[in-house]
Amino acid sequence: MSELDKVLKVSPGLRGIARSNSSGSIEEFTGQVDAESVCAVASMCVQHLKRIEELLGCGELTSWALTTENTGFYVHHGREGLIAIVGEANKNPDALLRKTEAAIRGGR
């Protein structure tokens, strides 16, 4: 089982996971995910999030989660790129973000 598969098993609500490198190219993905689109949107969101990072001055962005009525979207940043996870909508995205973070760090 790959490291990404292990992260996906953190919650039954997670559908797919993808990893892209620092240039935005997909390196690996698994599950039901349009990896290119998800990683592209995550990369596009980063420009806004980096501005928040600058505004707040409270350290670097490490991870973030966004939920809509239909979807949960979890992104973890690292020096080598990002990992994006897609799942069902979740009322407590922070909890799931922390769980996936722990799974990613545990897999290293």
Partner 1 sequence: MNDILDVLIRVPGVSGAALCNQQGECVLSQLIPPFEPILIKKVVSEVRGVFQMMRYLDDSEPQFLVLHFDDVVVAVRQIEELTLIALAVSTTNSTMLGVGLNVVNLKILEHGIANFELAAGTGSRSGSGLQSTPRPATGTTSGPIARSEGTSISSPGISGSDSGQQPAPDFIGDELVQHLVKALARQLGPAAKVVFKQQVKHIGLTVGTITPNNLSSVVDAVLQRLTDQAKREAFLTEVRALLRR
Q: Which of residues 54-73 bind partner 1 (CB under 8 A)?
A: 55-56, 58-71, 73
Among 11, 82, 85, 87, binds partner 1 (CB under 8 A): 82
Rounded to whole angstroms, how far apart are CA atoms 96 and 64?
10
Is residue 15 near partner 1 by the rule CB under 8 A? Answer: no
Helix (H) or strand (E) holding 15, with range, is strand 14-21
Query: For residues 88 and 13, is the Cβ–Cβ distance under 8 A?
Result: yes
Rounded to whole angstroms, how far apart are CA atoms 23 and 97?
24
Is residue 107 near partner 1 by the rule CB under 8 A? Answer: yes
Task: Using only the alpha carbons of the chain, give its radius of gyration.
Answer: 13
Interacting residues with partner 1 between 24 and 53 (CB under 8 A): 24-41, 43-45, 47-49, 51-53
> Among residues 12 and 48, whose Cβ is nearest to partner 1?
48
12 three-class SS: coil
Among 10, 14, 76, 85, binds partner 1 (CB under 8 A): 76
Among 11, 19, 85, 87, binds partner 1 (CB under 8 A): 19
Q: Which two tokens stand for residue 23?
A: 């240039």
Is residue 9 near partner 1 by the rule CB under 8 A? Answer: no
